[in-house]
Structures are given as C-alpha cells and as structure tokens.
A = this chain, B = another copy of it.
Amino acid sequence: MAIRPAEQLIHKAAWLYYAHGLRQDEVANQLNISRASVAMYLRKARETGIVNISTSTQLFTDDIMARRLEDALKLDAVWIAPENAYLADPSTDIAVLAASVFLELVRKGDRIGVAWGRTVYTIADIMSYADLQDVTVVQLCGNLGAPYSYRPDQCTMEIARRLNAKGLNFYAPLVLSTEELAQGLRAEPVIRDQLSGISDCDLALYSIGAVDADSHLVKCGALTAAEMAALRKEGAAGVIAGQIIDAGGELLDCSYNRRVISAGLASLRVIGKRLMVVQEDSKFEPLLAAIAGGLCTHLVVGAHMAQRLLDHAGASAEKAP
C-alpha cells in the first residue's frame, strides 16, 4: 500500500481541496489516507503546477508612471516595482514581479527564448511552478563554463523545469577564439537549426548587462577587464544575450561580437513579446541602448529606474523640437 503515490492521487486531493473547497481532513476521509499525507500531496500539487496560484500584476501597471513610460518609450507594457514601499530587499521584489509577469505572458503552445544572467536566474529561482507541457524553452545564446549557478543552460533548464516544459539547450560555447571557428560552428546543422528557431519564439526573457569590469563576460573570462574598457571606448553601451550593443541598440562592430554564438538581434526583434527585466539602477545607459534598439516591448523595472527613464525621455523630447 505504499506504491508510488500516483500523480492521480495528488490530482484528486488537489481537486477536492482547491476546486471543491473541502478541508484537508475531509479530503483525507474521501481518499482513505491520513491528513498528513493530504498536506504532503497538496504541497506536491503546488510544486508540480497541478494547482496554480497567481496574483494579478495589474496594480503595477495601473501606476500613472507606468502609463507615461509606455507612451514615452513606445512600449507595449511596463511594470514598476515600488521600491522600499514593500520589502527590505527591493531587487527581490523586482524579480518576484518579473516572474509573475512572465507567467502571465506565457501561453500554451508558446516557444520561449531565455537569455542568461543573475537577474534571469533569480527570476527562474523564485518562479512558481506551472503545468505547460506543450511549451518549449530555448536557450538564446551559447554557454559559458562559469563557476556561477546562472550559466545560460541552467537558466534555460530551470525555467523549463518550473513550467513543466521542454528545454532546448545550446551545445556551443558563447565565445570562440577565432572568427573562422565561430562561423564554422554557426553553419553546423545542430547549431544552425537552434539559431534559426529563435525567430519562431513567441516570448523572450532577458536582462541587460553593463559594460564594465563587473560584467559577467569579464567574470566568466570571455573578455578581460581591459578589453571591456577598450570596447567601451569604441561605443559599447550594453550586453544583451552575450552580445555587445552600442548606444543605438545595434550590434557593435568588433571582433568579440563576430566570435559569439548567440541569437542575432534581428531574430530577437522578430519575437512578439520581448520581456526585459532590470534590477540594478546602474544599468541605466545599457537599458536606454536596448530600448533604442527596439529590443524590448515589455519592461519590468524598479521605481527609481522608472523615474530616471521618464526624466530622460522628457529631456530628449524637449531637445528635439
């Protein structure tokens, strides 16, 4: 009588409890098991996505500032996490909000592109579970063998796991040492298919990286701090899906970019919903670049960043007649 507690049993318990509104002990009676088991099944049901608990993110878009930002930056939707009004750690609040927004944007049957970074991994980590079997999560860029837990493939897999979706990983390094090798690898059928499949995505999730010595690209050894500084002088404004963009949001013409295996900006721009999440206030310029380049249609930021964006947009509008 201790067979694998068939998914069926979890489902029945969840059904009686959440849909019918029975109490745990009533459910236990119905199913002839102890109440403790019911409690355990219910936890599993939540962790498996058999039951879904979601809170509307309406409040964060209802904000007047969010509306104005949507207009000023021509974005489809903006969510603003009210800093310091809620929790001790505001960055967590942004990630929690981003996870909710993400789940709200996902539709059954969708194909989702996921980039990488601390922000993306944090979101994956706190995201609640869902049951979206016919969803595919694809990795947007090559891998970086880093000691961190937010490697591109890990971000992809973790999100796929949370959604009960299929995860498609990228079996290639993010950066190669020569342009020839990168070109050759991009032509490989396996890689080519993955790259060309990116424009079929319905939704993309990424953050933006800063061009400084703290960048993951430096930490993971893809670039040295000196190289990064040099690129900055050449006009580098931000990092998206492992690639370096200039202030206009276009790919910077540099050797590094030519050696990268990642989703082309053109493929990204084709994706219908591009959700960008920015936690750090320091990423103001990189974010401006990404927006300028049309790399984001949906935006989740903190109140402080929102205010800066709005001020900036206002100033630009004055300058331009």
Contact = CB atoms under 8 A, between A and B. Distances in A.
A20 B51 contact: no
A52 interface: yes
Contact of A50 (B30, B56, B96, B99): B56
Contact of A53 (B16, B18, B20, B99): B18
Nearest to A133: B58
Contacts of A16: 86-87
Interface in A27-65: 30, 45, 49-56, 58-59
A14 interface: yes
A126 to B, nearest CB: 9
A186 B165 CA distance: 49
A86 B14 CA distance: 12
Given A30-B86, A30-B87, A86-B30, A15 B52 contact: no
Contacts of A212: none
A87 B11 contact: no
Copy total for this chain: 2
B87 A20 contact: yes
A221 to B, nearest CB: 35
A255 interface: no
A119 to B, nearest CB: 17
Contact of A52 (B11, B50, B56, B99): B56
A122 interface: no
Interface string A49-88: 1111111101100000000000000000000000000110
A196 to B, nearest CB: 29
A302 to B, nearest CB: 15
B51 A52 contact: no
Contacts of A59: 8, 11-12, 15
Contacts of A100: 19
B55 A53 contact: no
B52 A54 contact: yes
B51 A54 contact: yes
A86 B12 contact: yes
A248 to B, nearest CB: 34
A200 interface: no
A17 to B, nearest CB: 8
A86 B17 CA distance: 12
Nearest to A52: B54
A265 to B, nearest CB: 29
Contacts of A20: 86-87, 92-93, 96
Contacts of A92: 20
18 contacts: A8-B59, A12-B86, A15-B55, A15-B86, A16-B86, A18-B53, A18-B55, A19-B100, A20-B86, A30-B86, A51-B53, A51-B54, A51-B56, A52-B52, A52-B55, A52-B56, A53-B53, A56-B131
Interface of A: 8, 11-12, 14-16, 18-20, 30, 45, 49-56, 58-59, 86-87, 92-93, 96-97, 99-100, 131
Given A8-B59, A11-B59, A19-B97, 5 more contacts: A16-B86, A19-B99, A20-B92, A51-B54, A53-B53
